[in-house]
């Protein structure tokens, strides 16, 4: 259900050429689609799925701060070969390579569980740090934004806030309550993603005077 909304959202982003202006945001959502589809194919509970999930988490954590900077920066760099584009891509690749290299050593179940705990704690710290950055930006006031950027910011803020709450609350829940919380999270994400997808519009073309 969520993947369907994400697929529609990605199609809308590409059709409207959002990647020309906000490439990291589009790349991040595209990778979510890839890892989500992989999870469906492999099925929950398999060792392969666990490995893919760990790699996806590492890449997502690496990209998240850069997505925040891209959506909320004051000035926009049009040169996509600049460090604004290359830095997040390189960092994400390094994170993925480090985790892949670790998995290639064939860790046992206990070591893999410890790796998940470390990744979970790191994800929580990064998520809360980015959330603090966004709250600070909103309190000081963000600059004017067009319709598409406004909706992308709303979606990103929802994703960060909901992920932070989930990371903090989930360890205190039972297995059954955790599954219910996850289902609620996925349902809300589906609704918000779908609304954002259909709220995007083709940017108005600026005709030279």
> What percent of the chain lies above the pLDDT cut of 70?
90
DSSP per residue, 47-112: HHHHHHHHHHHHHHHHHHHHHHHHHH-SS----TTSHHHHHHHHHHHHHHHHHHHHHHT---HHHH
Q: What is the mean pLDDT of residues 64-79?
A: 76
What per-residue confidence (pLDDT) applies to 186? 83
The pLDDT assigned to 208 comes to 45
Q: CA 87, CA 67: separation in Å to the nearest integer?
A: 12
Which residues are CB-contacts of 56 (< 8 A; sequence separation ≥ 6)?
A: 31, 32, 35, 38
Q: Report the percentage of the chain scoring pLDDT > 90.
A: 31
* pTM to 2 decimal places: 0.86
Q: Is the pLDDT of residue 133 over 50?
A: yes
Instruction: Return d(Cα 37, Cα 60) in angstroms, integer.
Output: 15
Per 3-state DSSP, the chain is made up of helix, strand and coil in percentages (nearest 5) of: 80, 0, 20
Domains of the chain: which residue ranges? 2-199
């Amino acid at each position: 259900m969520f993947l369907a909304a994400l697929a529609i959202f990605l199609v809308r982003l590409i059709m409207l050429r959002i990647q020309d202006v906000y490439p990291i945001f589009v790349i991040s959502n595209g990778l979510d689609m890839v890892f989500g589809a992989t999870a469906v194919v492999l099925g929950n509970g398999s060792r392969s799925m666990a490995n893919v999930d760990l790699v996806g988490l590492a890449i997502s954590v690496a990209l998240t701060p850069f997505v925040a900077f891209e959506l909320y920066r004051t000035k926009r760099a049009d040169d996509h070969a600049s460090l604004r584009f290359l830095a997040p891509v390189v960092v994400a690749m390094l994170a993925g390579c480090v985790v892949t290299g670790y998995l290639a050593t064939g860790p046992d179940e206990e070591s893999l569980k410890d790796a998940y705990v470390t990744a979970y704690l790191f994800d929580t710290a990064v998520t809360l740090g980015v959330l603090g950055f966004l709250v600070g930006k909103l309190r000081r006031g963000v600059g004017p934004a067009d319709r598409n950027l406004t909706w992308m910011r709303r979606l990103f803020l929802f994703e960060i806030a909901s992920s932070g709450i989930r990371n903090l609350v989930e360890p205190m829940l039972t297995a059954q309550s955790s599954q219910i919380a996850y289902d609620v999270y996925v349902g809300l994400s589906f609704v918000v993603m779908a609304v954002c997808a259909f709220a995007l519009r083709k940017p108005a073309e600026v005709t030279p005077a």
